[in-house]
Every structure is written in C-alpha cells, then in structure tokens.
Amino acid sequence: MAKKIEIDKKEFESLLAIQCSCNEIVAFYQYKLGSMCDETIRRFCVREYGKSFKEVAEEKRAVGKIGLRRAGFELAKKNAAVHIFYCKNYLGMTDKVVTESTVAVSDNFLEALNSTASEDWKEEENEDAD
C-alpha cells in the first residue's frame, strides 16, 4: 500500500490564494514531498472541505484577490501609472475623447463640402456650354 501523503491545509490554502492551478500545486508537492498527483489533491478537497477542487479554489483564490486588490489600491496612491490603471478600470475613465457630436459635425462638413463641389461643377459645365 502506498504511503499516505499529508497536505498541510494552511499551506494548500496559501497556494490557492496566490492563484496556483491544480497542476502547479501538484508540482509544488512533488518537489516538496517527492510524490503527488492531481487525484490526491481532488480527494483532499472532498475530504477536508466536502467540495470539489474547483469550488475550494474559487473560494480561496478570492481571498488572494482581496489582498492583491488592497495592495494595488495602496500602490495607486504612490504610483501614477497604477493610479491611472485603477481609474480607467474601476471608475470607467478614459483618455479617448470621441463624441457623437464630433462625428455629426464631420458628416455635416462632408455633406456641405460635397454640395459645394457639386454646385461648382455645375457652374463650370454651364460656363463651358456658353
């Protein structure tokens, strides 16, 4: 019978908090313990949490995202580039200024230009006819 592999719950949750995939967690434990497979991780989740790996991962990764978001907001207070990123992504700000009125003015200008060119063309035809 194979030796039972013990997975440290806190360490496992820490790996999920930094957004590790199942394959990355397997690789971590293979390096640390010398042996591991994804099925062991999946059975551990059912035994310890009563949930699938996917469900546990979603919950524990959310904790990591909270920490990442907190760090990002703190960094945005000190770094202009990060501040701009957060303003664009969370506040919907943009540095592109394109409005419908600008498009409408352009369309009206083109219509007027075409109309004027058409009238000039007609006048030239009339002069040639005379």
Domains of the chain by residue range: 9-91, 97-130
| Nearest residue to 3 (alpha-carbon basis) of 43, 41, 34, 49 | 34
Token representation of residue 62 = 């959310």
Position 106 scores a pLDDT of: 67
DSSP string, 64-87: HHHHHHHHHHHHHTT-HHHHHHHH
Q: Are 29 and 5 spatial neighbours (Cβ–Cβ below 8 Å)?
A: yes
Position 90 scores a pLDDT of: 82
- CA separation for the pair 96, 104 (Å, rounded): 17
Per-residue pLDDT of the chain (130 residues; tens, 9 = 90+): 556 778 999 999 999 999 999 999 999 999 998 889 999 999 999 999 999 999 999 999 999 999 988 999 899 999 999 898 888 888 888 877 666 655 566 667 677 767 765 555 555 555 555 5
Position 35 scores a pLDDT of: 86
Q: Are 17 and 27 spatial neighbours (Cβ–Cβ below 8 Å)?
A: no
